[in-house]
Amino acid sequence: MKTFSDKTNGLLNFMELKQFRYRIIYGIMMALLIIVSLACLLPILWIVLSGFKTPAEMYSIPPQLLPSGFSLEPVKNIWVKVNFFKYFGNTLMEICGALIFDLVINGLAGYVLSRIRPKGSAVLETIVFGTMLLPSVSMVPLYMTFVNMPILHINLTGSFLPLWMQAGCNAFTIMLFRSFFNGIPMDYLEAARIDGCSNIKIFFKIILPLSKPIIVVETIFCVIYSWKNFMWPYLILGSTERETVSILLYQISSGSMSITMPEIMLVIMFSIIPPGLFYALFSKQIMGGMNMSGIKG
């Protein structure tokens, strides 16, 4: 555990903490942070504990924090009752496809704008950046496009493809890749071209292996967004066998499923555990990704 003498950065440094008044300020700040942390954790703790209560305990006055007993039988029963494995598998399918489209298509677009730079790339770059400034008014025409795909005249609703296509067309991600690729020395690319590599082979053999930091960051962003995404999966996958976890939660909240309040809490707990584990494993990369998202090209 770090002591005051080990503290070299932050709002208050070691020299300031030698003074009594700054120690008081430091203690107040830590107390406030602990209170805020508890305020964030208590709802999650309440959800987990409520899942093991009986309906009578759930609605008891005054509220009862701890259940009378803990048993894994309700967990097993509700898992089978709502068929949570199906929704979880569908969500993983959406995430995997979106991630592939995201890294390959957006990465290639960023590579073209950063390193190939054909004629008109400056205009194209301005257009891509300009799309980030447009208001979010494209949902209706985009949905109509998926219902009746131009030229092909096919209906893409009911499949994951529209969700994957949206992940592969993200102006912010393109500019993020472009900014990172600008830092890769051109010497590597020129040496690969002398050896006879094509542009597409350079991207997969040279650029991607050198871009692990941005790939990790974009993977985190894509997984988090896909897991919590509700509107588009609901519009595209609603009333099919491909509903995701977010749609399941909506169906439960709308009362379309006949389950008790403790069972609802268990389903919510199921939906919280995967992103919680994901954050616990990649917390450093997530924090680093917040910083990297602001890099300049």
pLDDT for residue 88: 93
Question: Can you tell me the distance from the alpha carbon of 167 to that of 183, in angstroms, rounded to the nearest whole number?
Answer: 24
Return the domain boundaries, the chain: 4-50, 78-292
Tens of pLDDT, residue by residue over 173-231, are 998 899 889 888 888 888 888 888 888 999 998 898 888 888 988 888 899 889 989 99
Residues 137-146 have pLDDT tens digits of 678 888 898 9
Residue 192 burial (CB < 10 Å; 0-12/13-18/19+)?
Answer: middle
Gap between the Cα atoms of 97 and 171, Å rounded: 18
Quick one: what percent of the chain has pLDDT higher than 90? 22
Residues 118-157 have pLDDT tens digits of 888 888 888 888 888 777 667 888 889 899 888 888 999 8
Question: How many other C-beta atoms are found inside a 10 Å radius of the C-beta of residue 275?
Answer: 14
User: Hey, how many other C-beta atoms are within 10 angstroms of the C-beta on 237?
Assistant: 21
d(CA 150, CA 147): 9
Q: What is the DSSP code (8-state) at residue 295?
A: -
Return the axis-axis angle of helices 261-281 and 283-292, rounded to nearest 10°: 70
The residue-averaged pLDDT of 273-291 equals 73
CA separation for the pair 278, 220 (Å, rounded): 9
* DSSP structure class, residue 6: G
Closest residue by Cα to residue 114 from 56, 180, 189: 180
Cβ 104 vs Cβ 168: under 8 Å: yes
Torsion (CA) 29, 34, 37, 43 in degrees, nearest 10: -140
**Total residue length of the chain:** 297
The class level of CATH for 78-292 reads mainly alpha
- The per-residue pLDDT for range 39-54, each reduced to its tens digit, is 888 888 888 888 888 8
pLDDT of residue 296: 44
Query: What gap in Å lies between CA 293 and CA 220, rounded to an integer?
Result: 12
